[in-house]
Structures are given as C-alpha cells and as structure tokens.
C-alpha cells in the first residue's frame, strides 16, 4: 500500500501528531468508486478547510451493503491507492462499518465535511466532532457527476438492450 494509506491505529496517531503541531485536520468519507471530477472537486474543497485531509474509505464489504451486490466496481486497495495519489489527500484509512461514526470518534478531526446533500445533523460522527470543539461543514457537489451515472452511461452505451437508467 502507498504510504498515505494508513491502518486505523496509524491514522489515529498521525492525526494526533498533526494536531499537536497545531495543524487543522479535516475528515471526510465515502466509497469513491470510479473517481470522477465531482470527487476531485469535493476533496479539493474539503482540503481547503484545513491543513490536512484524511479520507475514510468504505471497504468493499461496506460498499456492497450500501450500494448493492454489483458494487464496488474498483477494489478497496485500488480505490485507496488512487485517492492517496491526489494532491489534496494527506491520508486514507479504510472502515468496514456502514458509517464512519466509530472512526470519527477515534480520530476527532477539527473539521468534518460532507457534501451539501447532507444535513449537518444527519452526518455520521457530527456529534462527537462538535462535542470535541470541532466544526461540521458541507461543501457543494458538482452537479450531474456520480459513479452511478457513469455506470448507467456505460451500460446504456454498450448494452442498450438492458435499458438501464431510462424511465
């Protein structure tokens, strides 16, 4: 694994070290299956809210529970490597639960970020971050960009008889 991909324990120590040096740590999470411009802009915006960005990445099993048996398209190791290669991302750590609430409670980032399609009170881990003196923020999403949309486009182009995504 690339050096930015950390175990949960490594992530906790790394975040604590950054915070001890006075750096503001931002956390976000997601599946990040088939990385697209919406993901890149979202992560860039999240990173601009602090000095370091930690991304919690759903494991393959977690993605399957959330998105269905045909997902993810890309394996967790590949998704972690691609995310870790982005300039905006300082660390990636995987979580197998349906939400990153436990992970966030361990990391206690200074800022917790999700897309603007989430209400702050619905964001997993928001309570722990706020109680620890942190902030929970949302950033705008790039309209019309989604992994599901990309998958539907591919299916419609190469298997139009399935009629996926139409009607």
Q: Which residues contact 17 (CB under 8 A, 6 or more apart)?
A: none
Residue at 59 is within a domain: yes
- In this predicted structure, what is the pLDDT of residue 166? 47
- CATH of residue 75's domain is 3.40.50.620
Q: Per residue in 21-39, pLDDT tens?
A: 999 999 999 999 888 888 8
Residue at 167 is within a domain: no
d(Cα 132, Cα 73) in Å, to the nearest integer? 36
Q: Which domain does 72 fall in, by range?
A: 5-162
Q: How many domains does the chain have?
A: 1
Q: Is 68 exposed, middle or buried (0-12, 13-18, 19+ CB in 10 A)?
A: exposed
Asked whether the beta carbons of 78 and 86 are under 8 A apart, the reply is no
Q: Per residue in 112-167, pLDDT tens?
A: 999 888 888 889 999 999 999 999 999 987 576 666 665 665 667 777 776 554 44
Mean pLDDT of 3-12: 97
Under the banding of pLDDT at 50, 70 and 90, the label for residue 54 is very high
């Amino acid at each position: 694994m690339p050096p930015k991909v950390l175990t949960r324990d490594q992530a906790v120590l790394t975040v604590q070290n950054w915070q001890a040096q006075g750096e503001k740590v931002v956390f976000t999470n997601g599946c990040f299956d088939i990385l697209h411009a919406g993901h890149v802009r979202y992560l860039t915006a999240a990173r601009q809210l602090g000095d370091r960005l930690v991304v919690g990445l759903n494991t393959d099993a977690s993605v399957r529970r959330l998105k269905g048996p045909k997902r993810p398209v890309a394996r967790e190791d590949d998704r972690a490597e691609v995310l870790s290669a982005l300039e905006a991302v300082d660390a990636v750590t995987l979580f197998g639960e349906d939400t990153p609430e436990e992970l966030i409670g361990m990391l206690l980032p200074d800022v917790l970020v999700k897309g603007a399609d989430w209400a702050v009170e619905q964001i997993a881990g928001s309570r722990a971050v706020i109680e620890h003196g942190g902030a929970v923020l949302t950033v705008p999403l790039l309209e019309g960009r989604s992994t599901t949309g990309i998958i539907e486009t591919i299916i419609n182009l190469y298997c139009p008889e399935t009629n996926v995504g139409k009607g």
